[in-house]
Protein backbone atom coordinates (compact mmCIF):
# COMPACT_ATOMS: atom_id res chain seq x y z
CA UNK A 1 0.00 0.00 0.00
CA UNK A 2 1.40 3.39 -0.96
CA UNK A 3 1.71 6.30 1.47
CA UNK A 4 -1.05 8.17 -0.38
CA UNK A 5 -3.47 5.23 -0.24
CA UNK A 6 -2.61 4.71 3.48
CA UNK A 7 -3.51 8.33 4.18
CA UNK A 8 -6.77 8.02 2.19
CA UNK A 9 -7.70 4.93 4.24
CA UNK A 10 -7.70 7.14 7.32
CA UNK A 11 -9.69 9.91 5.64
CA UNK A 12 -6.66 12.17 5.18
CA UNK A 13 -6.48 13.98 1.87
CA UNK A 14 -2.90 13.89 0.56
CA UNK A 15 -1.97 17.25 -0.90
CA UNK A 16 1.15 19.30 -1.34
CA UNK A 17 -0.60 22.60 -2.08
CA UNK A 18 -0.03 24.46 1.21
CA UNK A 19 3.18 22.64 2.05
CA UNK A 20 5.03 23.59 -1.10
CA UNK A 21 4.96 27.38 -0.89
CA UNK A 22 8.42 27.88 0.68
CA UNK A 23 11.83 26.78 -0.44
CA UNK A 24 13.46 23.85 1.30
CA UNK A 25 16.60 25.65 2.45
CA UNK A 26 17.93 27.43 5.54
CA UNK A 27 15.67 30.46 4.99
CA UNK A 28 12.56 28.33 4.52
CA UNK A 29 13.34 26.32 7.65
CA UNK A 30 13.93 29.52 9.67
CA UNK A 31 10.57 30.89 8.52
CA UNK A 32 8.79 27.68 9.50
CA UNK A 33 10.45 27.52 12.92
CA UNK A 34 9.42 31.12 13.69
CA UNK A 35 5.93 29.67 14.23
CA UNK A 36 7.25 27.42 17.00
CA UNK A 37 7.63 29.15 20.35
CA UNK A 38 10.67 28.01 22.30
CA UNK A 39 11.82 28.46 25.86
CA UNK A 40 14.71 30.92 26.15
CA UNK A 41 17.86 29.72 27.91
CA UNK A 42 21.35 31.09 28.23
CA UNK A 43 24.01 28.42 27.83
CA UNK A 44 27.12 29.36 29.81
CA UNK A 45 30.58 27.80 29.91
CA UNK A 46 34.18 28.57 30.73
CA UNK A 47 36.05 30.31 33.52
CA UNK A 48 37.46 33.80 34.05
CA UNK A 49 38.34 35.52 30.80
CA UNK A 50 37.38 32.43 28.77
CA UNK A 51 33.73 32.62 29.90
CA UNK A 52 31.22 32.91 27.13
CA UNK A 53 27.70 31.85 26.37
CA UNK A 54 24.78 31.97 23.98
CA UNK A 55 21.05 32.51 24.06
CA UNK A 56 19.24 29.47 22.67
CA UNK A 57 15.81 27.94 22.28
CA UNK A 58 17.35 24.52 21.64
CA UNK A 59 17.87 23.30 25.24
CA UNK A 60 15.61 20.53 26.47
CA UNK A 61 15.55 17.36 28.52
CA UNK A 62 16.85 14.28 26.76
CA UNK A 63 15.99 11.92 29.60
CA UNK A 64 14.59 12.05 33.13
CA UNK A 65 16.09 8.68 34.11
CA UNK A 66 18.96 9.23 34.11
CA UNK A 67 18.77 13.06 34.19
CA UNK A 68 20.23 14.32 30.90
CA UNK A 69 19.93 17.53 28.88
CA UNK A 70 20.51 18.20 25.21
CA UNK A 71 21.49 21.45 23.55
CA UNK A 72 22.39 22.29 19.97
CA UNK A 73 25.25 24.78 19.53
CA UNK A 74 26.47 26.33 16.31
CA UNK A 75 30.06 25.19 15.76
CA UNK A 76 31.04 28.64 14.48
CA UNK A 77 29.86 30.31 17.70
CA UNK A 78 32.23 31.29 20.48
CA UNK A 79 30.34 28.98 22.88
CA UNK A 80 30.91 25.57 21.31
CA UNK A 81 34.75 25.54 21.58
CA UNK A 82 34.53 26.59 25.26
CA UNK A 83 31.98 23.86 26.06
CA UNK A 84 34.20 21.38 24.26
CA UNK A 85 37.34 22.57 26.11
CA UNK A 86 35.87 22.67 29.63
CA UNK A 87 33.44 19.77 29.33
CA UNK A 88 30.66 21.65 31.09
CA UNK A 89 27.72 23.96 30.48
CA UNK A 90 24.79 25.38 32.38
CA UNK A 91 21.28 25.80 31.00
CA UNK A 92 20.05 29.03 32.61
CA UNK A 93 16.30 29.36 32.01
CA UNK A 94 15.73 33.06 31.40
CA UNK A 95 13.20 34.84 33.59
CA UNK A 96 10.56 37.11 32.11
CA UNK A 97 12.41 40.21 33.37
CA UNK A 98 15.75 39.20 31.81
CA UNK A 99 15.22 40.08 28.16
CA UNK A 100 18.21 42.46 28.23
CA UNK A 101 20.48 39.65 29.43
CA UNK A 102 19.09 37.30 26.78
CA UNK A 103 19.92 39.93 24.16
CA UNK A 104 23.47 40.32 25.53
CA UNK A 105 24.10 36.58 25.20
CA UNK A 106 22.52 36.61 21.74
CA UNK A 107 25.31 39.00 20.72
CA UNK A 108 23.15 42.08 20.35
CA UNK A 109 25.14 45.19 21.14
CA UNK A 110 28.37 43.48 20.09
CA UNK A 111 29.26 42.07 23.53
CA UNK A 112 31.51 39.01 23.49
CA UNK A 113 32.94 36.54 25.98
CA UNK A 114 33.01 37.68 29.60
CA UNK A 115 31.47 41.06 28.72
CA UNK A 116 28.16 39.25 28.16
CA UNK A 117 28.04 38.53 31.91
CA UNK A 118 27.71 42.22 32.84
CA UNK A 119 24.77 43.38 34.92
CA UNK A 120 23.92 40.04 36.54
CA UNK A 121 25.05 37.99 39.54
CA UNK A 122 26.79 34.69 38.79
CA UNK A 123 27.90 31.70 40.83
CA UNK A 124 29.11 28.15 40.09
CA UNK A 125 27.90 24.68 40.95
CA UNK A 126 29.59 21.33 40.64
CA UNK A 127 30.59 21.42 36.96
CA UNK A 128 32.24 24.84 37.23
CA UNK A 129 30.03 26.43 34.56
CA UNK A 130 28.71 29.92 35.38
CA UNK A 131 25.20 29.84 36.90
CA UNK A 132 22.85 32.84 36.76
CA UNK A 133 21.74 33.46 40.35
CA UNK A 134 18.39 34.94 39.30
CA UNK A 135 17.49 32.41 36.60
CA UNK A 136 13.97 30.96 36.62
CA UNK A 137 15.85 27.65 36.78
CA UNK A 138 19.45 26.56 36.26
CA UNK A 139 20.57 23.09 35.18
CA UNK A 140 24.29 22.44 35.64
CA UNK A 141 25.72 19.81 33.28
CA UNK A 142 28.92 17.94 32.51
CA UNK A 143 29.35 17.00 28.86
CA UNK A 144 28.68 13.32 28.35
CA UNK A 145 28.91 13.28 24.58
CA UNK A 146 28.92 15.64 21.62
CA UNK A 147 27.65 14.70 18.20
CA UNK A 148 29.00 16.97 15.47
CA UNK A 149 26.76 17.22 12.43
CA UNK A 150 26.71 19.86 9.73
CA UNK A 151 26.81 23.36 11.25
CA UNK A 152 26.05 22.30 14.84
CA UNK A 153 27.19 20.19 17.75
CA UNK A 154 24.48 18.30 19.63
CA UNK A 155 25.71 18.29 23.21
CA UNK A 156 24.44 15.71 25.70
CA UNK A 157 24.85 16.78 29.31
CA UNK A 158 24.80 14.76 32.53
CA UNK A 159 22.84 16.85 35.03
CA UNK A 160 24.96 17.43 38.14
CA UNK A 161 23.06 20.29 39.77
CA UNK A 162 19.66 21.97 39.68
CA UNK A 163 18.51 25.29 41.09
CA UNK A 164 14.88 26.41 40.90
CA UNK A 165 14.26 30.16 41.05
CA UNK A 166 11.00 32.04 40.97
CA UNK A 167 8.90 33.83 38.42
CA UNK A 168 7.92 33.04 34.87
CA UNK A 169 10.13 32.41 31.90
CA UNK A 170 10.53 33.88 28.43
CA UNK A 171 9.62 32.23 25.17
CA UNK A 172 10.82 33.31 21.75
CA UNK A 173 8.41 33.18 18.82
CA UNK A 174 8.24 34.95 15.49
CA UNK A 175 11.38 36.98 16.19
CA UNK A 176 10.21 38.37 19.58
CA UNK A 177 10.30 37.54 23.26
CA UNK A 178 7.06 36.81 25.10
CA UNK A 179 6.59 36.52 28.88
CA UNK A 180 5.22 33.21 30.10
CA UNK A 181 3.95 33.97 33.62
CA UNK A 182 3.82 31.62 36.60
User: In the chain, what are the domain boundaries?
Assistant: 38-180
In terms of phi and psi (left: phi > 0; alpha: psi -120 to 50; beta: otherwise), the region of 85 is alpha
Give me the residues of the chain with pLDDT under 70, please: 1-20, 181-182
Please tell me the predicted confidence (pLDDT) of residue 173.
93
**Residues in CB range of 25: below 8 A, 6 or more apart:** none
Please tell me the predicted confidence (pLDDT) of residue 23.
87
DSSP 61-125: EEETTTTEEEEEEETTSSHHHHHHHH-EEEEEEPBTT-HHHHHHHTTGGG--GGGGGTTS-EEE-
Please tell me the predicted confidence (pLDDT) of residue 31.
87
CATH fold, domain 38-180, is Pnp Oxidase; Chain A (2.30.110)
Please tell me the predicted confidence (pLDDT) of residue 81.
98
The pTM score is 0.86
Q: Which residues sit opposite 89 in a β-bridge?
A: 141
Tell me the backbone φ, ψ of residue 2, rounded to 5 degrees.
-75, 165
Q: What is the arrangement of strands in the sheet containing 137-149, beginning at the earlier edge strand?
A: 52-56, 41-45, 88-93, 137-149, 152-164, 68-74, 60-63
What secondary structure letter does DSSP report for 30? H
What secondary structure letter does DSSP report for 148? E
Nearest C-alpha neighbor of 130 from the set 171, 107, 163? 163
Amino acid sequence: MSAKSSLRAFGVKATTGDLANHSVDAEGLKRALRALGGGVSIITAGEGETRTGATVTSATALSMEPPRMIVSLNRSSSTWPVVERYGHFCVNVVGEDQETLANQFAGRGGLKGPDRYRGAAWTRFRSGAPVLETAAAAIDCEVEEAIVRYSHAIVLGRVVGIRIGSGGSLIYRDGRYHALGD
